[in-house]
């Protein structure tokens, strides 16, 4: 079994692969101050719930965009799983040709997503990731990471409204009954859902003008399903895309 770990700004997602099958996955909040022992014990509790023995884990592969978390996470894996984790870096084989002007600027999660989308869905492909930021990535048929778009994430935008506008409340991000809200809460929810759906469709259509109209559009991330209900350009929802990419990269470098 292989443990794949994706460290994001909001959540740490972990998944266990048995062969090519993702058999278990879970999330925990990303906390920079969490100790290695706390992290290790959380992992063991997840394993206990899934009835997985630590001895069954052959290797661990990690992608991270949060450097402050890595020391305690790596230490936890060494101490509690007795494994030396494989870290996604610029030197690891991915099969992706990074065409960014400065390849080191591209977040590891975006490259991992590109690997998975290209392998599973083929190219050209556009990946929309609804994470802390909403990112759009374009990958050519030849496996070139062409670049993309970075926007403020939905939750960040809604929190900013709550923090900066005195009379606006914090609201759940759900689809309201209609576009035209009848209350302040419904109006804010409408802005979040329909506003971001419109953003997705516009950006994807503009990207297709450069990548090609035949590009497949794959969405991932926590709010992918909610926005995909309204965004006409999203064709596939794959919330496990990053974990799949980590397993593919592991197999390449095994």
Q: Using one digit for the tens of pLDDT, what is the confidence trace for 35-75?
A: 999 999 999 999 999 999 999 999 999 999 999 999 999 99
Mean of pLDDT values over 15-40: 94
Mean pLDDT for the stretch of residues 170-187: 92
What are the tens digits of pLDDT across the range 190-243?
999 999 999 999 999 999 999 999 999 999 998 999 999 999 999 999 999 999
Q: Where are the domains of the chain?
A: 2-87, 97-247
- Asked whether the domain spanning 97-247 has the same topology as the one spanning 2-87, the reply is yes
Band (pLDDT 50/70/90 cuts) for residue 254 is: confident
Which of 6, 25, 55, 109 does the annotation list as catalytic? 109
Give me the mean pLDDT over the 77-93 stretch: 93
First vs last C-alpha separation in the chain: 13
What's this model's pTM, rounded to 2 decimal places?
0.91
Q: How far apart are CA 107 and CA 111, in angstroms?
A: 7
Q: Which residues contact 30 (CB under 8 A, 6 or more apart)?
A: 7, 8, 9, 10, 11, 12, 66, 69
Quickly name the fold that domain 97-247 has. Nucleotidyltransferase; domain 5 (3.30.420)
Q: Is 109 a catalytic residue?
A: yes
Residues ≥6 apart with Cβ < 8 Å to 195: none
Q: How far apart are CA 8 and CA 13, in angstroms?
A: 8
The mean pLDDT value for 172-198 works out to 93
Q: Tell me which of 3.50.50.60, 3.30.420.40, 3.40.50.720, 3.20.20.70 is the CATH number of domain 2-87.
A: 3.30.420.40
- How crowded is residue 237: how many other Cβ atoms within 10 Å of its Cβ? 16
Q: What gap in Å lies between CA 135 and CA 47, rounded to an integer?
A: 31
């Amino acid at each position: 079994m292989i443990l794949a770990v994706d460290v994001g700004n909001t959540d740490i997602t972990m998944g266990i692969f048995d062969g090519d099958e993702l058999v278990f996955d879970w999330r925990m909040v990303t906390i920079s101050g969490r100790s290695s022992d706390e992290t290790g014990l959380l992992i063991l509790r997840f394993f206990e719930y899934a009835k997985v023995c630590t001895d069954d884990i052959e290797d661990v592969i990690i992608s991270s965009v949060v450097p402050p978390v890595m020391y305690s996470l790596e230490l936890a894996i060494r101490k509690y799983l007795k494994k030396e984790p494989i870290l996604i870096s610029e030197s690891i084989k991915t099969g992706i040709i990074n065409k960014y002007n400065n390849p080191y600027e591209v977040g590891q999660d975006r490259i991992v997503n590109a690997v998975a989308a290209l392998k599973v869905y083929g190219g050209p492909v556009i990946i929309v990731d609804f994470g802390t930021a909403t990112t759009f990535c374009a990958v050519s048929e030849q496996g070139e990471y062409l670049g993309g778009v970075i926007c403020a994430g939905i939750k960040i935008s809604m929190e900013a409204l709550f923090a900066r506008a005195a009379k606006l409340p914090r609201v759940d991000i759900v689809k309201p009954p209609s576009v035209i809200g009848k209350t302040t809460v419904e109006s804010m929810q409408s802005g979040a859902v329909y506003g971001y759906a419109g953003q997705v469709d516009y950006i994807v259509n503009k990207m297709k003008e450069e990548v090609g109209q035949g590009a497949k559009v794959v969405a991932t991330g926590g709010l992918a399903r909610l926005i995909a209900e309204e965004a006409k350009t999203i064709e596939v929802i794959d919330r496990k895309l990053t974990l799949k990419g980590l397993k593919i990269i592991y197999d390449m470098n095994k």
